[in-house]
Amino acid sequence: MISVLMAGAALLMTATPLAGQAGVASDPVIVTARPVPQRALVDRWVRALSVRSSSDEPLSRLSEPLCVVTAGLRVELGIALADRVLANAEHLKIRLAGPRCRPNVLIVFVDNGARQVDWLNKYRPAIFGDLPYSTIRALKTDKGPVHAWHITAIASRDGEKLVAGDGGFPTLHIPTASRIDAPIQSQIVAAVVMIDRSALPGKRIEQIADYATFRALARVNPSRQEGKPEDAGTILSLFDEGTSPDHLTALDWGYLRGLYSGRATRRASAQYADMARSVMTEMALGEAPR
């Protein structure tokens, strides 16, 4: 007869001798599962990490097929990095653009990101789209090794863009109202991920590509990690002090999969809930590379 006892995350299985086998020694077999963090903790992490332009907008995500271009690395490294980003996106069921596409994600490596942002603001301001000056100023003063930003646009529930209305004011045609869905969606039109070369030593190209994947596909603030489960890692810590993950973790896959699954017009509260559930599912599967 086999008796099974459950205690927390540990599963204790002990073999009981059958009749006629008394006296036969039997060692207990202990199987320990990785504990899955509490849902409330994960939900808090998802909300803290995410960035929105306003409280009534859904979270932004890429809507057009992904086209990646890299600069500032040796050609073979740039190709390897772009291929990895595209493979990650494909795993998330994000559409990929074909050859000779128009890039909507730029991953660039520079000597000093803060100075580069300042130069771009003076001589190539169009690269920032309609970002508010406060955001650009924060990028210019950020001394960290990574500077990332997104150009976003509002579209209707059906994907229609803003058009010039009476008097030249931008107008958005929304055919129907809904209590379930938001009347709009927020689309990532372009993303820039700029990384200082001085931060690259000791990092593998796969790690850098996975980090760039997360920063390009989602508007997040890595410095805000309130609620992150202590036993769960994230590729967003790649350039922090200490040990870094080798690849996108279950926490990362769960966040991105939850963001890109379902309707783009889900209200933010529904998006957060879906993302938290997705994180829980991924963490239950374990940390194996996807």
205 burial level (CB within 10 Å; 0-12, 13-18, 19+): middle
Cα–Cα dist 229/46, whole Å: 11
Does residue 203 share a domain with residue 276?
A: yes
Q: How far is CA 247 from CA 47, 186, 213, 251, 268, in A?
A: 23, 28, 11, 11, 27
Window from 7-11, 124-128, 141-145, 238-242 with minimum mean pLDDT: 7-11
Does residue 245 share a domain with residue 105?
A: yes
Does residue 185 share a domain with residue 86?
A: yes
Does residue 156 share a domain with residue 15?
A: no
CB 237 within 8 A of CB 245: yes
Number of domains within the chain: 2
Backbone angles phi, psi at 147, to 5 degrees: -130, 115
The per-residue pLDDT for range 174-208, each reduced to its tens digit, is: 656 566 677 888 999 999 999 999 999 999 999 99
What pLDDT is attached to residue 285? 86
Q: How far is CA 268 from CA 37, 62, 231, 259, in A?
A: 22, 16, 27, 10
Answer yes or no: is 290 within a domain.
no
**Residue 28 pLDDT exceeds 80:** no
Which range marks the domain in which residue 106 is found?
34-285
Does residue 58 share a domain with residue 107?
A: yes
**pTM of the predicted protein model:** 0.82
Q: How many CA within 13 A on the CB side of residue 241?
A: 0
More confident residue, 28 or 34: 28
Q: How confident is the model at residue 286 (pLDDT cuts 50, 70, 90)?
A: confident
What pLDDT is attached to residue 274? 95
Answer yes or no: is 270 within a domain.
yes
Does residue 41 share a domain with residue 11?
A: no
Helix residue ranges, H only, 14-65: 39-49
Q: What percent of the chain has pLDDT over 90?
A: 61
The per-residue pLDDT for range 216-237, each reduced to its tens digit, is: 999 999 999 887 877 788 999 9
Q: How confident is the model at residue 24 (pLDDT cuts 50, 70, 90)?
A: very low
The per-residue pLDDT for range 59-106, each reduced to its tens digit, is: 999 999 999 999 999 999 999 999 999 999 999 999 999 889 999 999
Q: How far is CA 173 from CA 54, 63, 151, 157, 276, in A?
A: 20, 19, 22, 9, 32
Does residue 54 share a domain with residue 160?
A: yes
CB 49 within 8 A of CB 65: no
Torsion angle, alpha carbons of 48, 52, 56, 61, to 10 = -110
The per-residue pLDDT for range 249-264, each reduced to its tens digit, is: 999 999 999 999 989 9
What pLDDT is attached to residue 229? 79
What pLDDT is attached to residue 227? 79
Averaged pLDDT score across all residues of the chain:
84
What pLDDT is attached to residue 183? 80
Does residue 3 share a domain with residue 126?
A: no
**Residue 163 pLDDT exceeds 70:** no
Does residue 61 share a domain with residue 1?
A: no
What pLDDT is attached to residue 21? 44
Does residue 13 share a domain with residue 76?
A: no
